[in-house]
Amino acid sequence: MMKLTPRLQTVADFVEKCDCFLDIGTDHAYLPAYIVENGIAERAIASDINPNPLKNAQKTLEQENLNEKITLRLSAGFENIRENEAGEIAIAGMGGMMIAEMIADTPWLQNKDIHLILQPMTHFELVRKELQVNGFEIDAETTVSEGNRVYLVMSARYFGTVSQKPAHWIYLGNLLNSTKKSDRQYVEKIIKMLRVKAEFSDDKEVKEALRSIENAKSK
Ligand SMILES: C[S@@+](CC[C@H](N)C(=O)[O-])C[C@H]1O[C@@H](n2cnc3c(N)ncnc32)[C@H](O)[C@@H]1O
């Protein structure tokens, strides 16, 4: 049985019971293997832009005897994925800019039956922004420590409405007042990064976010 690292386990914990799970950028296909072995999905599609990771994935499927339940698919983002193929979709271990582009390029994700589990490595603000302008809500998000890094994992669904958020939301989501240790570490790191940016640039978005953080703290 597949055992996941804390980062991928946190992603897996957000995946809900479904017929078909899709993992974009699967590499070794550890995540879909875990999801299917644990009965969370009946079957899965493990997709990757590069053939070599799919060779790694093929080895995992053979080791775990999952060839009949997991399909490998060469695909840049959602390019070779059809609408309605999967209800639960993970995109993990990729830069936030790339994840944001995939969301922008795939209008059929704007469907109330689709659940996205996203784990950007960088540029979390681009992912939150793209979700917000396209009518998604982040219904849950958390961080997890692995080695000496803290990773962010978010769960998002399409609601079709664009709700107003405070200026700091794109950077911190709803984690500003969380007491969980890794969330605190994440928040402190982002605030530090915003302060450095504010000192060396005239980025209005950053300055507004810092003001909004101060306001939220003083309430
Ligand atoms: C760092 S690995 C992450 C693997 C796994 N998702 C995880 O979180 O551990 C990133 C994988 O995404 C794939 N990838 C990069 N860009 C992609 C894209 N545009 N579409 C699909 N896969 C992509 C890479 O080939 C690589 O296998």
Where exactly are the structural domains of the chain? 6-163, 165-219
Q: Determine if the pTM surpasses 0.75.
A: yes
What pLDDT, on the 0 to 100 scale, is given for residue 76?
Answer: 98
- SS3 label, residue 116: strand
Ligand 1 pocket test: which of 10, 45, 47, 50 has the largest number of ligand atoms within 8 Å of its C-beta? 50
Contacts of 178 (CB under 8 A, 6+ apart): 184, 187
Q: Answer for the pair 211, 178: CB distance below 8 angstroms, yes or no.
A: no
Give the pLDDT confidence of 178-199 residue by residue, as tens digits: 999 999 999 999 999 999 999 9
CB atoms within 10 A of CB 165: 15
Compute the CA torsion angle 21, 23, 26, 30 (nearest 10 deg): -40
Q: Answer for the pair 96, 120: CB distance below 8 angstroms, yes or no.
A: yes
Q: Is it true that domain 6-163 has CATH number 3.40.50.150? A: yes
Would you state the structure tokens that stand for residue 133, as one six-digit string?
């302008």
Q: Which ligand 1 atom is at minimum distance from the Cα of 26?
A: 6
Cα(11) to centroid(ligand 1), Å = 14
Cα(24) to centroid(ligand 1), Å = 7
Would you state the structure tokens that stand for residue 12, as one six-digit string?
């897996």
- Which amino acid would we find at residue 20? C
* Positions in the chain whose pLDDT score sits under 70: none
Cα(74) to centroid(ligand 1), Å = 11
